[in-house]
Structure 1
Amino acid sequence: MTDSAAEARPPSIDSSRPHPARRYNYWLGGKDHFAADRESGDQIAAVMPSIRTAALANRAFLGRAARHIALQGVRQFLDIGTGIPAPGNTHEIVQAVDPRARIVYVDNDPLVLTHARALMSGTPGTITYLDADLRDPAAILDHKDLHALLDLTEPVGLLLVAVLHFVRDDEDPDGVVATLLDRLPAGSWVAASHATWEHTPAEVVAELQKSNRDGRFVPRDGDRFRALFDSRVQIAEPGVVSVADWHNDDPGRAPAADVMCNALVGRKR
């Protein structure tokens, strides 16, 4: 979407402020972003030239992890922080394993909702979209549209890909994850990724912080990321690793220092 399309924008979309979903779409090479998203994305890319590589690595991890969970027999998925639809959406991955798989997408960007409505019209009865925020997990889990599609007495695949690092410490990320997992039955699976600066030079971190004045972006190291899940999830091999390394045999995959994002997949105890 270009700025010339301003008149067609839904009035609830604030195009003057960058949004993570639209900025991520920009890095992935999509077209659904505004000038503020591009400016923010370019500022980050100027300091971290590998940011587009990182975005693509996260997207590829989503596909591998969702397929892995579907191959464990899970047929319903809750994808929170889904972002703007792009090739390799969760429903495309898991419905290739079983066309009966059901998916609930969650995001808090009105532009995502605009695209999701079109997406849902092509797959009636198998996917739905909630305009909701990860920081209010109870509202997600209690939503009538979620319960119309998912049976929370049966295993669910919970996807939290590149979203937890937008939950600040004062917004209780541990409680957010605990609320979600406690409402899902044993045998459910979770796949998550989380930004980290543990491989990043201090001078680069200092520059990146200049684009994070509101503190909305909170990288956490691998140990802190693991701690969000450890008490409730049996983390599968190979454990907490770079998103580029999780079940990826490509010898040309990006190094952890370029991707700056960890991943894990695990089964609820």
Structure 2
Amino acid sequence: MDENELRTALRQTITLHPEPPPMESATAITAARRAQTRRNLLAGIGSAAAILGITLAVIPGQAQTGGGTDLQVAAEPSGAVQPFPAGTPSWAGSAPAGGEKTEPVWPPENGGDATADSGPHYQHGKKLLTSLLAVVPDGYEAKSGATSDGIPFRSDQATIQNDGSYWTYLASVAIGKGDGVGELIVEVSEPGNGLPQDACAVAKQFWGRGGDCTPVTVGDAKVGVIHEGDGTAWAGYRHSDGTVVYVMQSTAPTYADPRANGLKPLEELPLSDAELAALATDASLR
């Protein structure tokens, strides 16, 4: 391959892969602030995968005939080759065989990262938010609109996990009573998530937060409930098919800084432990 052929190949690659549209600023800010609370940032896996997919493109060298100089691929450093990070898609770890296409194997509903922007999983995230709005406790109002700095009071997302083995859905809504504002969050992980079966063991896995757990009985089900101080509590439940549901309540939104937005916290948590556990087993929240 000579210089002109290489230039032509690169130009065709750029033409066939247009630049993605920019992310809306409010969405970007929401994701960034929630990342500070969530230690396992959901969308981060996909972003790293997209970067790896670009930088690991393989351009094989081909010897030229007629005494020309061979185009050589740079030698690897002498140190040990580092393994791919957990969560990298399966296509990133190997070079394609001759004639094979090199496009990523993310589902077509993903716009280049791990978060769905269309398709059935995206719609399932929307449905989960609708279901969450339907179980807002009496006496509390589901807030609409956004904070003073543009962070939406309602959000949803669907995120592919690991190498595509399962999906996680997240929905949140700010709830108000008087001049106080708190939040409800539900997170659902599809079967194949690898989470433990024990009620309290599952509850302690929520965002890696741990805590002292109290098992609560809901019918025939055992649900783990954890309190984090006076302002946050969540319940974790594993359904018989392996689906795991977490429902969290807080006296203040997890992503909004009250000092920046003038938001006052709720005076108390809106749900009792029994009510919170019952929501985690609710068939509509999965």
Would you say same fold, with TM above 0.5? no
Flag the structure with more relative contact order, 1 or 2, with Cα contacts below 8 A and sequence separation at least 6. Answer: 1
TM-score of the superposed pair, with normalisation by structure 1: 0.30
TM-score of the superposed pair, with normalisation by structure 2: 0.28
Q: Greater helix percent: which structure?
A: 1
Q: Greater strand percent: which structure?
A: 2
